[in-house]
Structure 1
Amino acid sequence: MNIMKGKIMSKSIDDVIQEKMKNPEFKKAFEKDMAQFSSSVALLKAREDAGLTQRELAEKAGVPQSTVARIERGYSTSTKTLSKLASAMNKTMRIVIS
């Protein structure tokens, strides 16, 4: 929140992001981070909807539990690993480029 000449002015996070997106370097980094974040959220939601723990999903997919945890924390992974995890939950993986 900024206080200017006795007035309280505030910007929403969306306003700040929109302003920063004018910078090409920021935009590129932001879009990369959002792609990773989207994968993390999608995996977490699908796992919880399937009623599986990280360990249970990892065992079904044939990957270490730490792999599931890292992906859910936002670390990057391969499409091959995401596909294994999706298959273990009887889901399909779609990649959308827009």
Structure 2
Amino acid sequence: MRITGDHTALAIEGRLDVRTAADARVLLHQAVDGGLGDLVLDLARLEFWDATGLGVIMGTHRRAGRIGRRLVLRSVPAQLQRLLVATKLHRILAVDGGIAEAHVS
């Protein structure tokens, strides 16, 4: 897993899972704490996330909300969109461009 960017926009590459969650949490929380306005998280190169990784995203979402920021997911791969729909988290998380209707059933 690799995270690049700054306090306004980050990109995650690789896997966000139980092995990478702790490092990702630290980096994402630093980005939230160090900026203002929306924090855009580009997931175009994210290959996989498990429940732990999804928990990191939700924790970052909550942390951002507590300080008046918003976490915005961008370029969410189709497989991950399906997981957001299955868990109904697409109703809670801000997804740039929304979730493709084909994935909502």
TM-score (normalised: structure 1)? 0.30
> Which one scores higher on RCO, CA 8 angstroms, separation ≥ 6?
2
TM-score for the superposition, normalised by structure 2: 0.28
Bigger proportion of residues as helix: 1
Larger Rg: 1
